[in-house]
Structure 1
Amino acid sequence: MAGWHCAYLVHGDDHGRIAERRASLRAKAEAESGVGGLELLEGDASSPEAAAAALNAMTFATGRRFIVVDGVQEWKDKDVTAHLVPALKDPPPETTIAFFGREDGRKKVPAALEKAVKAAGGVVGHEQQRKAKDLPRWAIGEAQRLGIELESSAAQALVAQVGDRQQRLLRELEKLALEHGPGARLGAEEVEAVAAPSAERQVWGFVDALVARNHPAALRAFLDLREQGEALPRLIPLMARRIREVLQIALRLEAGESPAQVKASMKGSPWMVDRRIKEARASDADALRTALEALAALELDTRGQSALDEETSAVRVIARIAA
Protein backbone atom coordinates (compact mmCIF):
# COMPACT_ATOMS: atom_id res chain seq x y z
CA MET A 1 0.00 0.00 0.00
CA ALA A 2 1.53 3.29 -1.07
CA GLY A 3 1.48 6.49 0.90
CA TRP A 4 2.64 5.40 4.34
CA HIS A 5 4.36 8.00 6.50
CA CYS A 6 7.20 7.12 8.83
CA ALA A 7 5.26 8.17 11.94
CA TYR A 8 1.75 8.94 13.10
CA LEU A 9 0.43 10.41 16.33
CA VAL A 10 -3.31 10.20 17.02
CA HIS A 11 -4.47 11.74 20.28
CA GLY A 12 -7.31 13.61 21.96
CA ASP A 13 -10.32 13.05 24.18
CA ASP A 14 -12.56 11.36 21.59
CA HIS A 15 -11.57 7.86 22.68
CA GLY A 16 -14.04 6.11 20.40
CA ARG A 17 -12.67 7.77 17.28
CA ILE A 18 -9.09 7.06 18.38
CA ALA A 19 -9.93 3.38 18.86
CA GLU A 20 -11.44 3.28 15.36
CA ARG A 21 -8.36 4.85 13.81
CA ARG A 22 -6.10 2.42 15.65
CA ALA A 23 -8.15 -0.56 14.49
CA SER A 24 -8.15 0.75 10.92
CA LEU A 25 -4.40 1.26 10.83
CA ARG A 26 -3.78 -2.17 12.33
CA ALA A 27 -6.07 -3.86 9.80
CA LYS A 28 -4.33 -2.11 6.88
CA ALA A 29 -0.90 -2.97 8.31
CA GLU A 30 -1.79 -6.66 8.67
CA ALA A 31 -3.26 -6.70 5.17
CA GLU A 32 0.00 -5.34 3.75
CA SER A 33 2.65 -7.08 5.87
CA GLY A 34 0.83 -9.86 7.71
CA VAL A 35 0.68 -10.38 11.44
CA GLY A 36 4.44 -10.90 11.53
CA GLY A 37 5.06 -7.41 10.22
CA LEU A 38 3.21 -5.75 13.11
CA GLU A 39 4.60 -5.11 16.59
CA LEU A 40 2.40 -3.87 19.45
CA LEU A 41 3.64 -1.92 22.45
CA GLU A 42 0.93 -1.48 25.07
CA GLY A 43 0.47 -1.55 28.82
CA ASP A 44 3.74 -1.95 30.73
CA ALA A 45 5.56 -2.57 27.45
CA SER A 46 4.74 0.95 26.23
CA SER A 47 7.45 3.51 27.01
CA PRO A 48 9.63 5.97 25.08
CA GLU A 49 12.63 3.71 25.67
CA ALA A 50 10.80 0.62 24.37
CA ALA A 51 9.56 2.52 21.29
CA ALA A 52 13.09 3.72 20.53
CA ALA A 53 14.43 0.19 20.94
CA ALA A 54 11.78 -1.15 18.56
CA LEU A 55 12.70 1.44 15.95
CA ASN A 56 16.40 0.61 16.22
CA ALA A 57 15.97 -3.17 16.32
CA MET A 58 17.43 -5.20 13.47
CA THR A 59 14.91 -7.23 11.52
CA PHE A 60 15.09 -9.67 8.63
CA ALA A 61 11.42 -9.26 7.75
CA THR A 62 10.61 -8.27 4.19
CA GLY A 63 8.20 -5.49 3.32
CA ARG A 64 7.09 -2.60 5.47
CA ARG A 65 7.31 -2.98 9.25
CA PHE A 66 4.67 -1.47 11.55
CA ILE A 67 4.97 -0.54 15.23
CA VAL A 68 1.80 0.43 17.09
CA VAL A 69 2.34 2.16 20.44
CA ASP A 70 -0.55 2.68 22.87
CA GLY A 71 -0.89 4.74 26.04
CA VAL A 72 1.44 7.62 25.17
CA GLN A 73 -0.67 9.96 27.31
CA GLU A 74 1.17 8.38 30.27
CA TRP A 75 4.61 9.44 29.01
CA LYS A 76 6.78 12.33 30.24
CA ASP A 77 8.47 14.96 28.09
CA LYS A 78 11.90 14.28 29.58
CA ASP A 79 11.72 10.56 28.71
CA VAL A 80 10.58 11.27 25.15
CA THR A 81 13.43 13.76 24.69
CA ALA A 82 16.03 11.40 26.14
CA HIS A 83 15.05 8.18 24.34
CA LEU A 84 12.69 8.67 21.42
CA VAL A 85 13.63 12.00 19.84
CA PRO A 86 17.06 10.71 18.68
CA ALA A 87 15.47 7.59 17.16
CA LEU A 88 12.89 9.64 15.25
CA LYS A 89 15.49 11.98 13.79
CA ASP A 90 16.62 9.21 11.45
CA PRO A 91 13.87 6.57 11.34
CA PRO A 92 14.69 3.29 9.56
CA PRO A 93 13.38 2.85 6.00
CA GLU A 94 10.25 0.83 5.32
CA THR A 95 9.11 1.34 8.91
CA THR A 96 6.00 3.06 10.22
CA ILE A 97 5.47 3.79 13.91
CA ALA A 98 2.06 4.94 15.13
CA PHE A 99 1.46 6.44 18.57
CA PHE A 100 -1.99 6.58 20.18
CA GLY A 101 -2.91 8.69 23.21
CA ARG A 102 -6.32 8.80 24.92
CA GLU A 103 -6.32 12.06 26.79
CA ASP A 104 -8.53 13.37 29.56
CA GLY A 105 -8.46 16.32 31.93
CA ARG A 106 -5.42 15.00 33.79
CA LYS A 107 -3.37 13.21 31.16
CA LYS A 108 -2.00 14.75 27.98
CA VAL A 109 0.35 13.51 25.28
CA PRO A 110 3.84 15.04 25.80
CA ALA A 111 4.47 18.08 23.62
CA ALA A 112 7.93 16.68 22.83
CA LEU A 113 6.35 13.65 21.14
CA GLU A 114 4.14 15.74 18.86
CA LYS A 115 7.09 17.93 17.96
CA ALA A 116 9.29 14.89 17.20
CA VAL A 117 6.65 13.25 14.97
CA LYS A 118 6.20 16.45 12.98
CA ALA A 119 9.99 16.95 12.67
CA ALA A 120 10.31 13.42 11.28
CA GLY A 121 7.77 14.22 8.55
CA GLY A 122 5.02 12.29 10.28
CA VAL A 123 1.32 13.07 10.63
CA VAL A 124 -0.43 14.27 13.79
CA GLY A 125 -4.17 13.80 14.19
CA HIS A 126 -6.24 15.46 16.91
CA GLU A 127 -9.52 13.73 17.74
CA GLN A 128 -11.39 16.11 20.02
CA GLN A 129 -14.97 15.78 21.19
CA ARG A 130 -17.17 18.65 20.13
CA LYS A 131 -19.25 20.66 22.55
CA ALA A 132 -22.90 19.66 22.74
CA LYS A 133 -24.06 22.92 21.16
CA ASP A 134 -21.87 22.27 18.10
CA LEU A 135 -23.01 18.69 17.48
CA PRO A 136 -26.13 19.44 15.36
CA ARG A 137 -24.04 21.51 12.95
CA TRP A 138 -21.40 18.77 12.88
CA ALA A 139 -24.10 16.15 12.20
CA ILE A 140 -25.42 18.18 9.26
CA GLY A 141 -21.91 18.29 7.79
CA GLU A 142 -21.36 14.55 8.26
CA ALA A 143 -24.74 13.85 6.67
CA GLN A 144 -23.73 15.86 3.61
CA ARG A 145 -20.50 13.86 3.39
CA LEU A 146 -22.61 10.68 3.39
CA GLY A 147 -24.83 12.02 0.60
CA ILE A 148 -27.96 12.94 2.55
CA GLU A 149 -29.40 16.26 3.75
CA LEU A 150 -30.30 16.65 7.41
CA GLU A 151 -32.69 19.43 8.36
CA SER A 152 -31.77 21.50 11.40
CA SER A 153 -34.64 20.04 13.44
CA ALA A 154 -33.55 16.54 12.43
CA ALA A 155 -29.98 17.19 13.57
CA GLN A 156 -31.23 18.45 16.92
CA ALA A 157 -33.52 15.45 17.27
CA LEU A 158 -30.64 13.10 16.48
CA VAL A 159 -28.44 14.57 19.21
CA ALA A 160 -31.32 14.60 21.71
CA GLN A 161 -32.16 10.98 21.00
CA VAL A 162 -28.74 9.40 20.55
CA GLY A 163 -26.60 11.48 22.91
CA ASP A 164 -23.36 13.42 22.53
CA ARG A 165 -20.98 10.60 21.59
CA GLN A 166 -19.80 11.41 18.08
CA GLN A 167 -19.15 7.81 17.13
CA ARG A 168 -22.72 6.80 17.98
CA LEU A 169 -24.04 9.79 16.07
CA LEU A 170 -21.95 8.86 13.05
CA ARG A 171 -23.16 5.24 13.13
CA GLU A 172 -26.77 6.46 13.18
CA LEU A 173 -26.10 8.82 10.28
CA GLU A 174 -24.62 5.93 8.30
CA LYS A 175 -27.75 3.87 8.99
CA LEU A 176 -29.93 6.76 7.83
CA ALA A 177 -27.89 7.15 4.64
CA LEU A 178 -28.18 3.44 3.86
CA GLU A 179 -31.91 3.33 4.54
CA HIS A 180 -32.92 6.48 2.64
CA GLY A 181 -30.31 6.56 -0.11
CA PRO A 182 -28.30 9.38 -1.74
CA GLY A 183 -29.97 12.76 -2.02
CA ALA A 184 -32.59 12.12 0.67
CA ARG A 185 -33.72 15.08 2.76
CA LEU A 186 -34.54 13.99 6.31
CA GLY A 187 -36.62 15.73 8.96
CA ALA A 188 -37.08 15.03 12.65
CA GLU A 189 -39.72 12.33 12.06
CA GLU A 190 -37.43 10.24 9.85
CA VAL A 191 -34.62 10.54 12.39
CA GLU A 192 -36.82 9.58 15.33
CA ALA A 193 -38.07 6.53 13.45
CA VAL A 194 -34.66 4.88 13.07
CA ALA A 195 -31.99 6.77 15.00
CA ALA A 196 -31.99 4.77 18.24
CA PRO A 197 -32.11 1.02 18.89
CA SER A 198 -35.67 -0.31 18.97
CA ALA A 199 -35.58 -1.02 22.72
CA GLU A 200 -34.41 2.49 23.47
CA ARG A 201 -37.03 4.01 21.18
CA GLN A 202 -39.69 2.03 23.05
CA VAL A 203 -38.43 3.28 26.41
CA TRP A 204 -38.62 6.91 25.35
CA GLY A 205 -41.95 6.33 23.62
CA PHE A 206 -43.28 4.96 26.89
CA VAL A 207 -42.01 7.97 28.85
CA ASP A 208 -43.45 10.36 26.24
CA ALA A 209 -46.86 8.73 26.53
CA LEU A 210 -46.69 8.81 30.32
CA VAL A 211 -45.83 12.52 30.48
CA ALA A 212 -48.54 13.26 27.91
CA ARG A 213 -50.96 11.34 30.17
CA ASN A 214 -51.97 9.06 27.33
CA HIS A 215 -52.96 6.07 29.46
CA PRO A 216 -53.66 3.50 26.69
CA ALA A 217 -50.41 4.29 24.86
CA ALA A 218 -48.36 4.32 28.09
CA LEU A 219 -49.78 1.00 29.29
CA ARG A 220 -49.30 -0.65 25.90
CA ALA A 221 -45.68 0.57 25.69
CA PHE A 222 -44.98 -0.56 29.26
CA LEU A 223 -46.30 -4.07 28.64
CA ASP A 224 -44.24 -4.33 25.43
CA LEU A 225 -41.10 -3.29 27.32
CA ARG A 226 -41.73 -5.81 30.09
CA GLU A 227 -42.32 -8.55 27.54
CA GLN A 228 -38.92 -7.92 26.00
CA GLY A 229 -37.25 -8.09 29.43
CA GLU A 230 -36.93 -4.42 30.38
CA ALA A 231 -36.44 -4.10 34.16
CA LEU A 232 -38.40 -1.67 36.32
CA PRO A 233 -35.25 -0.38 38.09
CA ARG A 234 -34.13 0.95 34.70
CA LEU A 235 -37.50 2.45 33.77
CA ILE A 236 -38.28 4.25 37.03
CA PRO A 237 -35.29 6.67 36.92
CA LEU A 238 -36.06 7.49 33.27
CA MET A 239 -39.66 8.30 34.12
CA ALA A 240 -38.74 10.32 37.19
CA ARG A 241 -36.05 12.33 35.42
CA ARG A 242 -38.37 13.36 32.60
CA ILE A 243 -41.19 14.28 34.97
CA ARG A 244 -38.82 16.36 37.12
CA GLU A 245 -37.62 18.23 34.02
CA VAL A 246 -41.16 19.00 32.96
CA LEU A 247 -42.16 19.96 36.51
CA GLN A 248 -39.36 22.53 36.75
CA ILE A 249 -40.51 24.12 33.50
CA ALA A 250 -44.17 24.05 34.56
CA LEU A 251 -43.32 25.84 37.81
CA ARG A 252 -41.45 28.55 35.92
CA LEU A 253 -44.34 29.02 33.50
CA GLU A 254 -46.82 29.22 36.37
CA ALA A 255 -44.57 31.84 38.00
CA GLY A 256 -44.98 34.06 34.95
CA GLU A 257 -41.94 33.31 32.80
CA SER A 258 -42.54 33.12 29.09
CA PRO A 259 -41.60 30.03 27.05
CA ALA A 260 -38.90 32.13 25.36
CA GLN A 261 -37.34 33.01 28.73
CA VAL A 262 -37.38 29.38 29.80
CA LYS A 263 -35.83 28.25 26.53
CA ALA A 264 -33.06 30.86 26.67
CA SER A 265 -31.89 29.61 30.07
CA MET A 266 -31.96 25.87 29.38
CA LYS A 267 -29.13 23.70 28.11
CA GLY A 268 -29.59 21.07 25.43
CA SER A 269 -30.77 21.10 21.85
CA PRO A 270 -33.47 23.69 21.01
CA TRP A 271 -35.63 20.92 19.58
CA MET A 272 -35.55 19.00 22.87
CA VAL A 273 -36.19 22.13 24.97
CA ASP A 274 -39.20 23.05 22.81
CA ARG A 275 -40.58 19.59 23.36
CA ARG A 276 -40.20 19.80 27.14
CA ILE A 277 -41.90 23.22 27.19
CA LYS A 278 -44.79 21.84 25.16
CA GLU A 279 -45.15 18.97 27.64
CA ALA A 280 -45.11 21.40 30.58
CA ARG A 281 -47.79 23.61 29.03
CA ALA A 282 -50.01 20.56 28.54
CA SER A 283 -49.67 19.55 32.19
CA ASP A 284 -49.74 21.21 35.61
CA ALA A 285 -47.40 21.23 38.59
CA ASP A 286 -49.75 19.41 40.99
CA ALA A 287 -50.24 16.49 38.60
CA LEU A 288 -46.50 16.21 38.05
CA ARG A 289 -45.78 16.26 41.80
CA THR A 290 -48.33 13.50 42.24
CA ALA A 291 -46.59 11.53 39.53
CA LEU A 292 -43.22 11.82 41.29
CA GLU A 293 -44.75 10.67 44.57
CA ALA A 294 -46.27 7.67 42.79
CA LEU A 295 -42.89 6.77 41.28
CA ALA A 296 -41.19 7.01 44.67
CA ALA A 297 -43.77 4.59 46.05
CA LEU A 298 -43.26 2.28 43.08
CA GLU A 299 -39.51 2.22 43.68
CA LEU A 300 -40.15 1.04 47.24
CA ASP A 301 -42.49 -1.64 45.90
CA THR A 302 -39.73 -3.00 43.64
CA ARG A 303 -37.61 -3.51 46.75
CA GLY A 304 -40.13 -5.90 48.20
CA GLN A 305 -41.99 -3.42 50.39
CA SER A 306 -45.42 -4.14 48.92
CA ALA A 307 -47.82 -7.05 49.13
CA LEU A 308 -48.45 -6.64 45.39
CA ASP A 309 -46.08 -7.92 42.74
CA GLU A 310 -44.11 -5.18 40.97
CA GLU A 311 -45.98 -5.66 37.70
CA THR A 312 -49.34 -4.90 39.33
CA SER A 313 -47.85 -1.98 41.27
CA ALA A 314 -46.42 -0.52 38.04
CA VAL A 315 -49.71 -0.82 36.16
CA ARG A 316 -51.52 0.98 38.99
CA VAL A 317 -48.90 3.77 39.07
CA ILE A 318 -49.12 4.24 35.30
CA ALA A 319 -52.90 4.56 35.60
CA ARG A 320 -52.50 7.09 38.41
CA ILE A 321 -49.96 9.22 36.53
CA ALA A 322 -51.66 9.08 33.14
CA ALA A 323 -55.22 9.51 34.43
Structure 2
Amino acid sequence: LDTTQLILVWSRGPALNKRSAGLPKKLNETLKALGVSVTKTDVNQRESGAWIDQQLADIGLTLDNQARRLLGDHLGDNVNRLVGIARSLLAAHGPGKRLGVDEIAPYLGSAGDVPPWDLTDAIANGDIPASLRTCRRMVHGGERHALAILASLTNHYARMASLDGAPVSGEKDAAAFLGVKGSTYPVKKAMQQARKMGPGNVKRAWGLLAEADLDLRGGTAADSEQVLEVLIARLARL
Protein backbone atom coordinates (compact mmCIF):
# COMPACT_ATOMS: atom_id res chain seq x y z
CA LEU A 1 0.00 0.00 0.00
CA ASP A 2 1.09 3.58 -0.63
CA THR A 3 0.52 4.35 3.04
CA THR A 4 2.85 1.57 4.23
CA GLN A 5 6.28 2.47 5.56
CA LEU A 6 8.42 -0.65 5.94
CA ILE A 7 11.61 -0.41 7.99
CA LEU A 8 14.16 -3.22 7.71
CA VAL A 9 16.86 -3.50 10.37
CA TRP A 10 19.98 -5.58 9.72
CA SER A 11 22.02 -6.76 12.68
CA ARG A 12 23.93 -9.76 13.90
CA GLY A 13 23.57 -11.38 17.29
CA PRO A 14 26.06 -10.20 19.93
CA ALA A 15 29.36 -12.08 19.99
CA LEU A 16 31.96 -11.90 22.72
CA ASN A 17 34.40 -9.09 21.95
CA LYS A 18 33.30 -8.85 18.29
CA ARG A 19 31.46 -6.21 16.33
CA SER A 20 28.42 -6.85 14.19
CA ALA A 21 29.03 -7.21 10.47
CA GLY A 22 27.64 -4.61 8.09
CA LEU A 23 24.95 -5.06 5.48
CA PRO A 24 26.14 -7.50 2.76
CA LYS A 25 27.24 -5.67 -0.38
CA LYS A 26 24.85 -7.50 -2.74
CA LEU A 27 21.86 -6.88 -0.48
CA ASN A 28 22.81 -3.22 -0.15
CA GLU A 29 23.06 -2.83 -3.95
CA THR A 30 19.73 -4.63 -4.50
CA LEU A 31 17.90 -2.43 -2.01
CA LYS A 32 19.29 0.75 -3.54
CA ALA A 33 18.34 -0.46 -7.04
CA LEU A 34 14.77 -0.86 -5.78
CA GLY A 35 14.78 2.72 -4.53
CA VAL A 36 15.06 1.79 -0.86
CA SER A 37 16.72 4.38 1.38
CA VAL A 38 19.61 2.68 3.22
CA THR A 39 20.97 4.39 6.33
CA LYS A 40 24.20 3.08 7.81
CA THR A 41 24.41 3.42 11.58
CA ASP A 42 27.22 0.94 12.29
CA VAL A 43 30.40 2.66 11.11
CA ASN A 44 33.99 1.89 11.98
CA GLN A 45 36.44 4.31 13.57
CA ARG A 46 37.94 5.29 10.21
CA GLU A 47 34.53 6.20 8.78
CA SER A 48 33.07 7.82 11.87
CA GLY A 49 34.39 11.37 11.35
CA ALA A 50 32.85 11.83 7.91
CA TRP A 51 29.64 10.08 8.99
CA ILE A 52 29.22 12.37 12.01
CA ASP A 53 29.79 15.48 9.87
CA GLN A 54 27.20 14.31 7.33
CA GLN A 55 24.61 13.53 9.99
CA LEU A 56 25.07 16.92 11.65
CA ALA A 57 24.71 18.68 8.30
CA ASP A 58 21.57 16.69 7.43
CA ILE A 59 19.97 17.53 10.78
CA GLY A 60 20.94 21.20 10.51
CA LEU A 61 23.46 21.53 13.33
CA THR A 62 26.73 23.45 13.23
CA LEU A 63 29.45 22.86 15.84
CA ASP A 64 32.70 24.73 16.28
CA ASN A 65 35.94 22.75 16.02
CA GLN A 66 36.32 22.14 19.75
CA ALA A 67 32.72 20.99 20.13
CA ARG A 68 33.02 18.73 17.09
CA ARG A 69 36.20 17.16 18.49
CA LEU A 70 34.58 16.67 21.90
CA LEU A 71 31.53 15.03 20.35
CA GLY A 72 33.62 12.60 18.27
CA ASP A 73 35.88 11.68 21.18
CA HIS A 74 32.91 11.24 23.50
CA LEU A 75 30.96 8.99 21.13
CA GLY A 76 33.95 6.74 20.51
CA ASP A 77 32.66 3.62 18.76
CA ASN A 78 29.05 4.32 19.80
CA VAL A 79 28.29 6.64 16.89
CA ASN A 80 24.73 5.31 16.73
CA ARG A 81 24.02 7.57 19.74
CA LEU A 82 24.65 10.65 17.59
CA VAL A 83 21.13 11.04 16.20
CA GLY A 84 19.54 11.13 19.66
CA ILE A 85 22.08 13.66 20.95
CA ALA A 86 21.75 15.79 17.82
CA ARG A 87 17.95 15.89 18.07
CA SER A 88 18.20 16.98 21.70
CA LEU A 89 20.60 19.76 20.72
CA LEU A 90 18.32 20.84 17.90
CA ALA A 91 15.31 20.96 20.21
CA ALA A 92 17.23 22.96 22.81
CA HIS A 93 19.05 25.44 20.57
CA GLY A 94 17.23 25.38 17.24
CA PRO A 95 18.77 25.16 13.75
CA GLY A 96 21.42 27.49 12.38
CA LYS A 97 23.16 28.42 15.62
CA ARG A 98 26.87 27.60 15.91
CA LEU A 99 27.30 25.55 19.09
CA GLY A 100 30.38 25.30 21.28
CA VAL A 101 31.55 22.98 24.03
CA ASP A 102 29.46 24.68 26.73
CA GLU A 103 26.27 24.25 24.69
CA ILE A 104 26.71 20.55 23.85
CA ALA A 105 28.36 19.18 27.02
CA PRO A 106 25.13 18.85 29.10
CA TYR A 107 23.55 16.63 26.41
CA LEU A 108 26.34 14.11 25.85
CA GLY A 109 25.62 11.61 28.63
CA SER A 110 28.14 8.88 29.44
CA ALA A 111 31.19 8.38 27.23
CA GLY A 112 30.90 5.79 24.46
CA ASP A 113 32.88 2.65 23.78
CA VAL A 114 36.42 2.59 22.40
CA PRO A 115 38.29 -0.15 20.48
CA PRO A 116 40.50 -2.61 22.43
CA TRP A 117 43.72 -1.23 20.95
CA ASP A 118 43.09 2.10 22.70
CA LEU A 119 43.47 0.18 25.96
CA THR A 120 46.58 -1.76 24.94
CA ASP A 121 48.17 1.44 23.56
CA ALA A 122 47.59 3.27 26.85
CA ILE A 123 49.03 0.31 28.77
CA ALA A 124 52.05 0.16 26.44
CA ASN A 125 52.68 3.87 27.06
CA GLY A 126 52.66 3.27 30.81
CA ASP A 127 49.84 5.81 31.18
CA ILE A 128 47.85 4.45 34.12
CA PRO A 129 45.18 7.23 34.26
CA ALA A 130 44.47 6.91 30.51
CA SER A 131 44.42 3.11 30.78
CA LEU A 132 41.85 3.23 33.58
CA ARG A 133 39.68 5.79 31.77
CA THR A 134 39.71 3.61 28.66
CA CYS A 135 38.81 0.52 30.65
CA ARG A 136 35.84 2.32 32.23
CA ARG A 137 34.60 3.44 28.81
CA MET A 138 34.76 -0.15 27.57
CA VAL A 139 32.87 -1.41 30.63
CA HIS A 140 30.21 1.32 30.83
CA GLY A 141 30.04 2.86 27.36
CA GLY A 142 30.58 -0.41 25.51
CA GLU A 143 28.84 -2.63 28.07
CA ARG A 144 31.67 -5.13 27.74
CA HIS A 145 31.89 -7.89 30.30
CA ALA A 146 35.08 -7.96 32.35
CA LEU A 147 35.90 -11.43 31.00
CA ALA A 148 35.61 -10.10 27.43
CA ILE A 149 38.13 -7.34 28.18
CA LEU A 150 40.40 -9.86 29.88
CA ALA A 151 40.14 -12.13 26.82
CA SER A 152 41.16 -9.24 24.57
CA LEU A 153 44.19 -8.48 26.75
CA THR A 154 45.10 -12.17 26.95
CA ASN A 155 45.03 -12.48 23.15
CA HIS A 156 47.28 -9.43 22.84
CA TYR A 157 49.87 -10.75 25.30
CA ALA A 158 49.61 -14.25 23.80
CA ARG A 159 50.76 -12.80 20.47
CA MET A 160 53.63 -11.07 22.25
CA ALA A 161 54.70 -14.29 23.97
CA SER A 162 54.44 -16.31 20.75
CA LEU A 163 56.61 -13.82 18.86
CA ASP A 164 59.39 -13.95 21.45
CA GLY A 165 62.34 -15.48 19.58
CA ALA A 166 60.20 -16.31 16.53
CA PRO A 167 61.99 -16.35 13.13
CA VAL A 168 60.07 -13.40 11.67
CA SER A 169 61.37 -10.23 10.03
CA GLY A 170 58.24 -8.08 9.81
CA GLU A 171 54.56 -7.84 10.61
CA LYS A 172 53.50 -9.86 7.55
CA ASP A 173 55.85 -12.69 8.50
CA ALA A 174 54.62 -12.44 12.08
CA ALA A 175 50.97 -12.57 10.99
CA ALA A 176 51.66 -15.67 8.90
CA PHE A 177 53.55 -17.24 11.83
CA LEU A 178 50.60 -16.59 14.16
CA GLY A 179 47.99 -17.62 11.60
CA VAL A 180 46.36 -14.17 11.68
CA LYS A 181 44.32 -13.36 8.58
CA GLY A 182 43.13 -9.94 7.48
CA SER A 183 44.55 -6.83 9.12
CA THR A 184 48.08 -7.15 10.48
CA TYR A 185 47.61 -4.11 12.74
CA PRO A 186 47.15 -6.13 15.98
CA VAL A 187 50.28 -8.13 15.14
CA LYS A 188 52.26 -4.94 14.51
CA LYS A 189 51.20 -3.59 17.91
CA ALA A 190 52.14 -6.86 19.61
CA MET A 191 55.59 -6.84 17.98
CA GLN A 192 56.26 -3.25 19.03
CA GLN A 193 55.22 -3.80 22.63
CA ALA A 194 57.05 -7.14 22.92
CA ARG A 195 60.31 -5.46 21.90
CA LYS A 196 59.68 -2.64 24.36
CA MET A 197 58.83 -4.91 27.31
CA GLY A 198 61.30 -7.74 26.83
CA PRO A 199 60.73 -11.44 27.61
CA GLY A 200 60.88 -10.99 31.39
CA ASN A 201 58.05 -8.48 31.57
CA VAL A 202 55.94 -10.42 29.07
CA LYS A 203 56.26 -13.43 31.40
CA ARG A 204 55.26 -11.26 34.38
CA ALA A 205 52.25 -10.00 32.43
CA TRP A 206 51.12 -13.61 31.91
CA GLY A 207 51.22 -14.14 35.66
CA LEU A 208 49.10 -11.03 36.26
CA LEU A 209 46.57 -12.10 33.61
CA ALA A 210 46.28 -15.58 35.13
CA GLU A 211 45.74 -14.11 38.61
CA ALA A 212 43.04 -11.76 37.30
CA ASP A 213 41.32 -14.64 35.50
CA LEU A 214 41.04 -16.57 38.77
CA ASP A 215 39.80 -13.48 40.62
CA LEU A 216 37.11 -12.79 38.00
CA ARG A 217 35.88 -16.37 38.39
CA GLY A 218 35.29 -16.05 42.12
CA GLY A 219 38.79 -16.01 43.58
CA THR A 220 38.22 -12.71 45.38
CA ALA A 221 35.39 -10.73 46.95
CA ALA A 222 36.32 -7.64 44.90
CA ASP A 223 33.94 -6.74 42.07
CA SER A 224 34.94 -7.37 38.47
CA GLU A 225 35.68 -3.73 37.63
CA GLN A 226 38.07 -3.42 40.58
CA VAL A 227 39.87 -6.60 39.48
CA LEU A 228 40.26 -5.20 35.95
CA GLU A 229 41.55 -1.84 37.15
CA VAL A 230 44.15 -3.45 39.43
CA LEU A 231 45.29 -5.68 36.56
CA ILE A 232 45.53 -2.80 34.09
CA ALA A 233 47.45 -0.58 36.51
CA ARG A 234 49.93 -3.40 37.14
CA LEU A 235 50.35 -4.10 33.42
CA ALA A 236 50.97 -0.41 32.73
CA ARG A 237 53.80 -0.40 35.29
CA LEU A 238 55.74 -3.18 33.53
TM-score, structure 2 as length reference: 0.51
Matching residue's letter, 1:266: A
1:216-235 alignment runs, 5 A limit: 216-228=129-141, 229-235=143-149
Contact 1:247 1:288 (C-alpha < 8 Å) held by counterparts: yes
1:1-323 alignment runs, 5 A limit: 16-27=24-35, 173=47, 176=50, 179=53, 197-198=77-78, 199-228=112-141, 229-249=143-163, 251-252=164-165, 261-267=169-175, 269=183, 273-323=187-237
Matching residue's letter, 1:289: K
SS in 1 for 2:126: coil
SS in 1 for 2:27: helix
CA shift in 2, pair 1:245/1:213, >3 Å: farther
Pick the structure with greater CA Rg: 1
Per-residue deviation, 1:237: 0.9
CA shift in 2, pair 1:19/1:212, >3 Å: same
Take 1:203 and 1:240, find their aligned partners in 2: how far apart are those partners?
12
Structure 2: which 5+ residue stretches go unaligned? 1-21, 55-71, 79-111, 176-181
SS in 2 for 1:247: helix
CA shift in 2, pair 1:311/1:197, >3 Å: closer
Structure 1: which 5+ residue stretches go unaligned? 1-13, 31-166, 181-192
Take 1:232 and 1:270, find their aligned partners in 2: how far apart are those partners?
25
In terms of fraction of residues, the more strand-rich structure is 1
Matching residue's letter, 2:122: A
Take 2:130 and 2:49, find their aligned partners in 1: how far apart are those partners?
28
Per-residue deviation, 1:241: 0.9
Matching residue's letter, 2:27: A
Per-residue deviation, 1:284: 1.4
Take 2:209 and 2:184, find their aligned partners in 1: how far apart are those partners?
28
Per-residue deviation, 1:209: 1.5
Per-residue deviation, 1:172: 5.0
Contact 1:287 1:321 (C-alpha < 8 Å) held by counterparts: no
1:5-41 CA distance string (max 9 Å, x none): xxxxxxxxx971122123223336x9xxxxxxxxxxx
Matching residue's letter, 2:160: V
1:210-244 CA distance string (max 9 Å, x none): 24433232122223333434321221111111111
Contact 2:157 2:206 (C-alpha < 8 Å) held by counterparts: yes
CA shift in 2, pair 1:266/1:179, >3 Å: farther
CA shift in 2, pair 1:178/1:200, >3 Å: closer
Partner of residue 162, structure 1: none
Per-residue deviation, 1:301: 2.0
